[in-house]
Structure 1
Amino acid sequence: MDRSSESGTPSPRRRRWPWIVGGLAVLGFLGLVALGIALVLLAGTPGTTTPTTYDEEYVSGGGADKIAVIPVEGTIASADSSLSGPVPIATPEGLRDALRQAREDESVRAVVLAVNSPGGGVTASDLMHDALQDFRRTTDKPVVVSMGDVAASGGYYISTAADRIVANETTLTGSIGVFIPLLNFSEASERYGVKQIYIKSGRFKAMGNPWNELTEDERRIFQSIVDQYYDEFVEVIVEGRDLPEKRVRELADGRVYSGIQAERLGLVDRLGNLDVAVRVARDLAGLDEARVVRYVQSPSLLETMLARLEPREPESLQLLRAANLDLEAKPYYLYLPGA
């Protein structure tokens, strides 16, 4: 007979919830470890990227021959090569992969570069310009630019490498110039007694630091860099648009032009939308008909996982970005109102 029933006292039960909670914690930890390993395997070797293959989205037309529409949208910048996977086409790496795909596909007879970009970094813009020139040199496939809402500064810089440029009447283009953004906290530093001290090897080593006023010597050095990149911008327009250098320098005062103004000034070839640019590309390729496809990106598994894990950007950082205070102190071919 059960002794507990004789005494009237229920027998103590073993507590199982600590084991359950502990088991769940172990499973959660193992899940995080597995996720980390999966991310590492998907990312590959740090600092390397694998060539991206873009999906083809049908746009219009038909036939065996194709015209590839390659969109360049957003700010032009170098890709972050710390993780592998697809990179935006508004990067030298992304454009290089898209042009490689168009080069290797024998059915692609022409390329239309759909540019909707205010430009970006000088180096990234120059690399994209070089990639387009290399594509034209190594293939007999014409390149036509179709400008969207904005194709200014670096967006115009890369466009000069095309065989033809087509702009909408309402396109904002031009903004031919370069700038280096430098913050200055010197007044706030004096007011609040905050200083940044640099132990440096030469008097210009920390030039442009935001805690001190820019000296005249430092200003001249930065200006010489800006002038050098400005001259390069002028040169690509002279070569790409076959315009006299004097005329280009008259136009290259940093202002933006409408599509109508740009066409009248010789900065673009004709006015029209993407359909017009496609017809120009088809004529240059000597085609009666062609199937128009757009290169698009589908997010990879890695990108989807990282997007879910990425923390929400702090509001303060969003405000800095909106005020363009997050720009690095480097040269830009960028249309930035007020710059």
Structure 2
Amino acid sequence: MKDEDARSDQAGDGSSGTTQRSAEDRWTQGPEIPPQSGSQQAGQPDDDADTLRERQRLAQLEMMDHWIGGVLAEQRRSRRWKLFFRLLMLSLLALALGLGIYQFYMPSSATPTTQPHLGRVEVNGVIAEDAPANAERIIEGLRNAWDAEAATAVVLHINSPGGSPVQSQRIYSEIMRLRESGDKPIVAVVEDIGASGAYYIAAAADEIVASPVSLVGSIGVIYSGFGLQEAIDRLGVERRVLTAGDNKAFLDPFQPLDDDAETFWQGVLNSTHQQFVSDVKAGRGDRLSDDDSLFTGLIWSGEQAQALGLVDQLGSIDDVARHYVDGAHWQDYTPSLDPFDRLARRFTRTAVQLMGVDTSPSPLSFQSP
């Protein structure tokens, strides 16, 4: 009897333990909440079949409403986070773009104008009327640097392959005028390249300084075009050009260039080249060597150019600053550009270049090929 009582007590203890464990959820360690939906779906004992089906349909609709509501809420949260991150990225991009434009286009103000310094003028990129390196902008910078009392020397900081003959000649003439009107030195400092029209400008300076590995020279004139008359014939296209003047369309790429037109155009190139050579000789004087290849359009390193008399010294803008102001102090006098206008011009120029369209107002160029 005692054994039976003990077993019954143990069974009673086990059942009570089971009852206690079932009262707690083993996943949340909290009280277990019995499901209600099942009983609602099951209905009451006295419900008929139609009532039970209606209860089940309502329960399914309620479950579907909960599911759709959860999906919509999750989509709204996802859209809000996507919008937030997009706005954040656009704000950071606009901030970085604004800082970059400001630092690139705004003139430096690190050096006070009352402290002795170099008056720097930038000649950067292709020299053209519609480019940042145009005659009006560079001449304005030259005059500003020349008139600044604290600027002990004017420095043309050149990094350009050349460009328009007219724009280059205008800048050259202004440098020669300033050079002859006072005793403030004008120094041309060539960075990576100072070729063709850019060297035309540099030749007017009192002194030219370049790195040993800078590219200098290319004293020549170039015209380039295409002969597409056979291509248009093969395509079966009829070109209609009406002119008043026998030679008005002699450079039309869809018409052959005859011997007389080629001779005439070569004379124009030779005349322009001779003007280039004369101005370089006037600017450089007897510092130029007698090498026959000097004016053939070749381009040399800075070290080779020094031996030919095209360059006076090998060095950098820092060396020039230490020579004239006993320290690397300079002030940028290049007029600032409208950043939006500059971006629009760059976009337009890139687009027409990709399409292969020549936008130069002159077919001649003082530019290295």
Summarize deviations over 1:205-261 as a string: whole Å, max 9, x none: 111011101111111111011001111111122122224889265311111100110
Match of 1:319 in 2: 354
* 8 A contact 1:64–1:290 mirrored in 2: no
What TM-score, normalized to structure 1? 0.69
Deviation at 1:195, TM superposition (A): 3.1
What TM-score, normalized to structure 2? 0.64
Q: Aligned equivalents of 2:162 and 2:190: distance in 1?
A: 12
Q: Aligned equivalents of 1:277 and 1:220: distance in 2?
A: 46
Q: Aligned equivalents of 1:288 and 1:124: distance in 2?
A: 34
Match of 1:74 in 2: 125
Matched residues, percent identical?
Answer: 31
**Structure 1 residue runs without a partner (length 5+):** 1-52, 80-86
Matched, 1:166 2:166: no
Residue in structure 1 matching 2:224, options 177, 181, 184:
181
Residue type matched to 2:107 in 1? D
Matched, 1:330 2:363: yes
> Relative to structure 1, is the Cα distance of residues 328 and 228 closer, same or farther in structure 2, using a 3 angstrom cutoff?
same
Runs of 4 or more above 4 Å deviation: 287-290, 296-299, 306-316, 324-329
> Relative to structure 1, is the Cα distance of residues 314 and 239 closer, same or farther in structure 2, using a 3 angstrom cutoff?
closer
Q: Aligned equivalents of 1:308 and 1:190: distance in 2?
A: 40
Matched, 1:262 2:328: no
Residue in structure 1 matching 2:107, options 55, 58, 63:
55
Q: What secondary structure sits across from 1:212 in the alignment?
A: coil
* 8 A contact 2:158–2:198 mirrored in 1: yes
Q: Bigger shift: 228-237 or 161-170?
A: 228-237
* 8 A contact 1:63–1:290 mirrored in 2: no
Residue type matched to 2:332 in 1? R
Match of 2:332 in 1: 294
Deviation at 1:194, TM superposition (A): 1.8
Supply the RMSD in Å over aligned alpha carbons.
3.1
> Relative to structure 1, is the Cα distance of residues 214 and 240 closer, same or farther in structure 2, using a 3 angstrom cutoff?
same
Summarize deviations over 1:28-68 as a string: whole Å, max 9, x none: xxxxxxxxxxxxxxxxxxxxxxxxx9734436x99732211
Deviation at 1:103, TM superposition (A): 2.7
Matched, 1:138 2:181: yes
Q: Aligned equivalents of 2:289 and 2:302: distance in 1?
A: 22
> Relative to structure 1, is the Cα distance of residues 213 and 314 closer, same or farther in structure 2, using a 3 angstrom cutoff?
same
Matched, 1:192 2:235: yes
> Relative to structure 1, is the Cα distance of residues 249 and 278 closer, same or farther in structure 2, using a 3 angstrom cutoff?
farther
> Relative to structure 1, is the Cα distance of residues 253 and 315 closer, same or farther in structure 2, using a 3 angstrom cutoff?
closer
Q: Aligned equivalents of 2:214 and 2:138: distance in 1?
A: 22
> Relative to structure 1, is the Cα distance of residues 262 and 107 closer, same or farther in structure 2, using a 3 angstrom cutoff?
same
* 8 A contact 2:352–2:358 mirrored in 1: no
Q: Aligned equivalents of 1:299 and 1:159: distance in 2?
A: 23
Q: Bigger shift: 269-278 or 158-167?
A: 269-278
Matches within 5 A, 1:220-231: 220-231=263-274
Match of 2:115 in 1: 64
**Structure 2 residue runs without a partner (length 5+):** 1-104
Deviation at 1:155, TM superposition (A): 0.9
* 8 A contact 2:179–2:185 mirrored in 1: yes
Bigger Rg, structure 1 or 2:
2
* 8 A contact 1:56–1:294 mirrored in 2: yes
Match of 1:206 in 2: 249
Matched, 1:278 2:321: yes
Q: Aligned equivalents of 2:301 and 2:175: distance in 1?
A: 24
> Relative to structure 1, is the Cα distance of residues 212 and 72 closer, same or farther in structure 2, using a 3 angstrom cutoff?
same
Q: What secondary structure sits across from 2:293 in the alignment?
A: helix
> Relative to structure 1, is the Cα distance of residues 202 and 296 closer, same or farther in structure 2, using a 3 angstrom cutoff?
closer
